[in-house]
Amino acid sequence: SYFPENWSHGSGSFSPRSYNSSASVEASSSEGLTLEGIIAHNWIIHDENESDWRSHAAAIAQSIHLIKKRLRWKNLLPRLEELSIQLNKPDLWDDPQSAGNVSREHGSIMGKIKQVNAYQQELFEHVDMIKLAREENDAPLEVEAMDALLTLRKLLKEKELEALLATDQDRCSCFIEVQAGAGGTESMDWASMVMQMYKRWSERRGYRVSVVDEMAGDVAGIK
């Protein structure tokens, strides 16, 4: 038999499980530092190779801010509240299709909020650890925390791109056409290299790539 995931079973009866929007709670450091606080410091963002925790923290905060902006963060929280109210209605599953849509949207928004808050919390934990390491003159701990901060910075740069491709249409497949144009053999050879670069970039990010049509160049490359 089928039971909607938001219903609990007991003593031969069914009752709706209560939904809430606790995922909206904002993360902060042990010293009360917030994302907005880091951004307000206007710390200079250096290259990733620089061992400057303020630079890494500022870059991470900027990435999270851009992700939030792309996700329309201020609209997510009220929408989550609205969906939570709908999910708690006892007659919700009278229309299974509508209920499924509400449940999926609620889960999607909840997941986004939890993930972004998790990134924020990780940022603050690393910053707190670096400060503690410096207070205790614990060089190995500071290096470990700095490495973790750098890893998070690189991850968030990738998440920025994912946030830019967050609409329903962006999940669909696409076609990329590469043409050599004028320029003879060198142009055809360059077109082939460009196509290979697109393929490697896509495959490294987990996209499936297939060549639908290809015309080899007269001497090298593709037309």
According to the model, what pLDDT value does residue 214 have? 86
Q: Domain for residue 27, yes or no?
A: yes
Chain centre to alpha carbon of residue 120 = 12
Q: Are residues 29 and 68 in the same domain?
A: yes
Q: Are residues 53 and 159 in the same domain?
A: yes
Q: Are residues 120 and 222 in the same domain?
A: no
Q: What DSSP string describes the chain? A: ----TTEEEETTEEEEPP---GGGPPP--TT---HHHHHHTT-----TTS--HHHHHHHHHHHHHHHHHHHTHHHHHHHHHHHHHHHT-TTGGGSHHHHHHHHHHHHHHHHHHHHHHHHHHHHHHHHHHHHHHHHTT-HHHHHHHHHHHHHHHHHHHHHHHHHHT-STGGGS---------SSHHHHHHHHHHHHHHHHHHHHHTT---------B-SSSSB-
Q: Are residues 139 and 70 in the same domain?
A: yes
Length of the chain (residues): 223
- Residue span of the structural domain in which 48 resides: 7-171
Q: Tell me which residue of 104, 36, 90 sits closest to 68, measured CA to CA.
A: 36
Q: Domain for residue 48, yes or no?
A: yes
According to the model, what pLDDT value does residue 1 have? 31
Q: Are residues 14 and 87 in the same domain?
A: yes
Contacts of 117 (CB under 8 A, 6+ apart): 23, 25, 26, 27
Integer Cα distance of 156 and 63 in angstroms: 6
pTM, rounded to two decimals: 0.65
Q: Domain for residue 188, yes or no?
A: yes
Question: How many domains does one find in the chain?
Answer: 2
Distances in Å between the Cα of 213 and the Cα atoms of 10, 35, 124, 222 are 58, 48, 49, 11
According to the model, what pLDDT value does residue 115 have? 92
Q: Which of 171, 189, 210 is the last residue of a domain?
A: 171
Q: Are residues 108 and 36 in the same domain?
A: yes
According to the model, what pLDDT value does residue 67 have? 92
CB 59 within 8 A of CB 49: no
Q: Hey, what are 173's tokens?
A: 């497949």
Q: Are residues 93 and 196 in the same domain?
A: no
Q: Are residues 51 and 133 in the same domain?
A: yes
Encode burial over 89-118: b for 16+ CB neighbours within 10 A, e otherwise.
eeebbeeeeebeebbebbeebbebbeebbe
Q: Domain of 105: which CATH number?
A: 1.20.58.410
Q: Hey, what are 213's tokens?
A: 């049509």
Q: Are residues 137 and 215 in the same domain?
A: no
Q: Are residues 181 and 159 in the same domain?
A: no
Q: From first to last of its 223 residues, what are the pLDDT tens digits of the chain?
A: 333 333 333 333 334 455 555 554 556 555 677 888 888 888 999 988 888 899 999 999 999 999 999 888 999 889 999 999 999 999 988 898 998 999 999 998 999 899 999 999 999 999 999 999 999 999 999 999 999 999 999 999 989 888 877 666 666 788 889 988 887 888 999 999 999 999 998 888 778 888 888 888 888 888 8
